[in-house]
Structure 1
């Protein structure tokens, strides 16, 4: 029996099943024993990679998935590709690799038994393994009924699958995306009458990426959620590279904690406050310094050996902005990554501070955003050292002074009016505006002293932890990226976090390329998903064939897909040639299928 713990502890599981003459009908008689080898490897907490080797591997994969209550997410076949006639279609081959997801936290405990059972079923069902189409015979039909599995009708076996055959990535059709106001060109960019707007707000509303629900609050549409999840994944990689551990704390925070730190009154009206039915006060947390410090303080046996402790979360935050504006750039409800660090000494805490600042630089470099680190005020959070990570933009609300040689950068709120020269080189400071996308604070013992967050030192004495906090505005980074990178009428994303990497545009309905071009484009979609599995879920097929290619290309340009693949007039050449647009560079290439796959192999997703 496979158990989840076995796979995690050993990294893999393997077993070979050999079938003797009593289990094999004459049609399968051979000098060599028939065998199937099963290998299972843990890919993540809920995903396992399964590999089957042997002549029967392709015959059993679908039924194995059905019997073990797992879902086939991806199947990679050796070339030539499997025909797409029906769910039982297959060819005899040497191996099949499957990625399976286990629903409801269940481990694939019955995989070995299922493989053995299904192999025997196929062997005894009198199915000819040399046939390219392997429809179930009478014995198999009966077996399926006993197992309560549906058998395909003759019509189903011969029908063409709309979304691809088993093992192919299901094609995502643009017409099925939930994206209100999508491509209509009628979205209100100004919001409420008199409300100031900006490029990112207008473009995201027009593209149906966000939908206003109340002042300063937005619904994030599925493409926006995809971009946000990709950004969070990049953040996770950077935070965990410096020892971060992810947790999740409640949005509701006790008023008592905030009163103890002094911030209940200091925050003023920007703090969302409420009282429960028992008269107990709470706030909706804009940050979580009090909550995380109390959490660590509750660990009475914390040792210096457990430090540094670097805890972070990505969660909704709330701030009662007096005048929310600019869409996601300044809203009342937003997503933020906030990390809180606990060190054994001031020196160690400053080292952590440097590590986190370097991690932020790495993050923004990966996104291709020209962020500047500037000196900043500590504000209501407090501490002794603070820096903002600012993305220069005309719509930015912060005024920055920068040394042209890069020696000095600061928010003007930290400087006197007389300071106009760089304190390092004496050069004249230039002024610009910026959007704050990150903020770091060295807190010292400001919060640990209030909550008595102590650890046991090497000499067995309690000692206050030295703290720091580090924020990144998740939704603000999305909007700021659109603000800075986009043109006036077209969205441009950092390629790494674009909701979808590819858009496929089929020929117009009724055109002379329609019939052959549509088939070739769908084949390109499937072959690309097979050759570049990391892009399989990052492709959209624009199936609105009632529109011209030009109209759909304009829409794709507005929505910001990094790559657009068009089945145009040259798709019927031999070999077929596709029109490939690189939206970020404006380059247009005419490439064969192989050339297109080579180009897209450079595309990255988190």
Structure 2
């Protein structure tokens, strides 16, 4: 169990009479994550992730990693530096590259601080040739830093110059199996977003500089979103406005022609593409067919902004003054607050707290329990801070624990409060833990990776 007195947690304290000058528009998530000591701004558009944020980020990355492995993807790590000559071969270096970082080493060789790795992973497979049709499909993903020289970094982790991303690259033998893979990965994305329990919308999207033939985005709807989306309440169709005829987007649905359409703003948290041979052809990434002849691999790529996803979830769920977390991402499930040092109930309450913590260790994952042992502070101050941090369950072991029949206070994130005996509190926490475990283990049934050119399209 973690003790708060040992946690590096530099909360931003603003004096009561201080005049705060807003030099930029900030979002709810940016303000809360910064003020409450989870992140700190470093340089414009870059952020330092402190221990509490790192806990949340790890949980998010673990969920993403689990979904990727469930669809047969294997994790790799590619260099952050990508030779610009690869982007020259794919044609992307000749496009708009104003948002990308280009650097040179001491020998004059030019590299990109990679915003994405299509060229790099395709070149890797090209260097491994020959690849047999029997080895397909190949699904490779990584989770790590990406870089984009944003003109106007905004809203903290939602639009930053350096961010954490999961990028998956798939390689199939033909368009049918590539589409089969595409549907599988999109199912995995939907399972992930359902696990996180934050309302999301999947929309048709433009392929943009990535290229390809099919693309979808996943969005959290929020006022601070920078993407304009159109949704149809009649048939459920949704699309990024970039894909729709400007003259008709606010009048008729592109699918059912209904006028029951709405314009909303979203924060993009995931993006999927069928790339065809846009990268495999110029970079000569091929496989050998049954007849021994080479054929271009058919690619897909799939991204999830892990750091953006965390911030966007806070943006949607939090109140103006208190953090709120998806159940599976909360930095701690339970926060325990004991009696104040020197209080008349300290001795009896401390005994109850010790017994309670010992029993709790067999119920909850100890890494998800935080003990606020700063007994020099009042219970009220610590309770207020715990509520602002959004811990799902707060346990207060104070004056009522010194009663003939000890009682402790349970405070739920929903606002519900109850006084219960320790055993009942343990049972309620066990119930929460079991529900969380069930949510974590929820899976969609994916069909097996296709190995035949006669693969069914899901």
State the TM-score, normalized to the length of structure 1: 0.69
Q: CA deviation at 1:173?
A: 1.5
Given candidates 270, 277, 293, the residue that maps to 1:461 is 293
SS at match of 1:491: coil
- In the alignment, which residue of structure 2 is the partner of 1:58? none
Given candidates 259, 271, 274, the residue that maps to 1:442 is 274
Given candidates 340, 343, 354, the residue that maps to 1:511 is 343
String of CA shifts for 1:535-565, please: whole Å, max 9, x gaps.
2111111112222211111100111111100
- In the alignment, which residue of structure 2 is the partner of 1:242? 71
- In the alignment, which residue of structure 2 is the partner of 1:38? none
Q: CA deviation at 1:510?
A: 2.4
Residues 318 and 325, structure 2, Cα contact 8 Å, conserved in 1: yes
SS at match of 2:367: coil
- In the alignment, which residue of structure 2 is the partner of 1:559? 389
Given candidates 317, 333, 354, the residue that maps to 2:146 is 317
> How far apart in 1 are the matches of 2:93 and 2:21?
32
> How far apart in 2 are the matches of 1:335 and 1:379?
21
String of CA shifts for 1:267-294, please: whole Å, max 9, x gaps.
4210100000000000100000000001
SS at match of 2:281: helix
- In the alignment, which residue of structure 2 is the partner of 1:544? 374
> How far apart in 2 are the matches of 1:399 and 1:526?
51
SS at match of 2:210: coil
Q: CA deviation at 1:596?
A: 1.9
> How far apart in 2 are the matches of 1:219 and 1:190?
25
- In the alignment, which residue of structure 2 is the partner of 1:404? 233
> How far apart in 2 are the matches of 1:569 and 1:236?
44
Q: CA deviation at 1:362?
A: 0.5
Residues 130 and 286, structure 2, Cα contact 8 Å, conserved in 1: no
> How far apart in 1 are the matches of 2:333 and 2:236?
38
Residues 190 and 196, structure 1, Cα contact 8 Å, conserved in 2: no
Residues 407 and 425, structure 1, Cα contact 8 Å, conserved in 2: no
> How far apart in 1 are the matches of 2:226 and 2:258?
27
Given candidates 166, 186, 190, the residue that maps to 1:337 is 166
Residues 234 and 258, structure 2, Cα contact 8 Å, conserved in 1: no
Tell which has more relative contact order, 1 or 2 (C-alpha 8 A, sep 6+). Answer: 2
- In the alignment, which residue of structure 1 is the partner of 2:186? 357
- In the alignment, which residue of structure 2 is the partner of 1:3? none
Residues 407 and 424, structure 1, Cα contact 8 Å, conserved in 2: no
Residues 190 and 197, structure 1, Cα contact 8 Å, conserved in 2: no
String of CA shifts for 1:226-268, please: whole Å, max 9, x gaps.
1111111111111111111011100000010011111123142
- In the alignment, which residue of structure 2 is the partner of 1:573? 403
Residues 489 and 558, structure 1, Cα contact 8 Å, conserved in 2: yes
Q: CA deviation at 1:597?
A: 2.0
Pairwise mapping of residues 85-164 of structure 1 onto structure 2 (< 5 A)? none
Q: Does 1:305 align with 2:134?
A: yes
> How far apart in 2 are the matches of 1:588 and 1:458?
67
- In the alignment, which residue of structure 2 is the partner of 1:175? 5
SS at match of 1:407: coil
Question: What runs of 5+ residues in structure 1 fail to find an aligned partner?
Answer: 1-170
Q: CA deviation at 1:386?
A: 0.8
Residues 501 and 562, structure 1, Cα contact 8 Å, conserved in 2: yes
The verdict on how the C-alpha distance between 1:573 and 1:425 changes in structure 2, with shifts beyond 3 A counting, is farther
Q: CA deviation at 1:590?
A: 2.1
Q: CA deviation at 1:193?
A: 5.1
> How far apart in 1 are the matches of 2:15 and 2:144?
32
SS at match of 1:264: helix
Q: CA deviation at 1:222?
A: 0.6
Residues 501 and 561, structure 1, Cα contact 8 Å, conserved in 2: yes
SS at match of 1:269: coil
Residues 218 and 269, structure 2, Cα contact 8 Å, conserved in 1: yes
Pairwise mapping of residues 579-594 of structure 1 onto structure 2 (< 5 A)? 579-583=409-413, 585-594=414-423
Larger radius of gyration: 1
SS at match of 2:79: coil
- In the alignment, which residue of structure 1 is the partner of 2:263? 431
- In the alignment, which residue of structure 2 is the partner of 1:471? 303
Pairwise mapping of residues 186-335 of structure 1 onto structure 2 (< 5 A)? 194-335=23-164
The verdict on how the C-alpha distance between 1:371 and 1:592 changes in structure 2, with shifts beyond 3 A counting, is same
String of CA shifts for 1:488-528, please: whole Å, max 9, x gaps.
00000111011111110011222222111122112212210
- In the alignment, which residue of structure 2 is the partner of 1:520? 352
> How far apart in 2 are the matches of 1:475 and 1:191?
27
Bigger Cα displacement from structure 2, 321-330 vs 569-578: 569-578
Q: CA deviation at 1:185?
A: 5.1
Residues 191 and 197, structure 1, Cα contact 8 Å, conserved in 2: no
String of CA shifts for 1:357-413, please: whole Å, max 9, x gaps.
111110011010111000111111111111110110000001111011352101111
SS at match of 2:2: coil
> How far apart in 2 are the matches of 1:451 and 1:549?
63
> How far apart in 2 are the matches of 1:303 and 1:536?
47
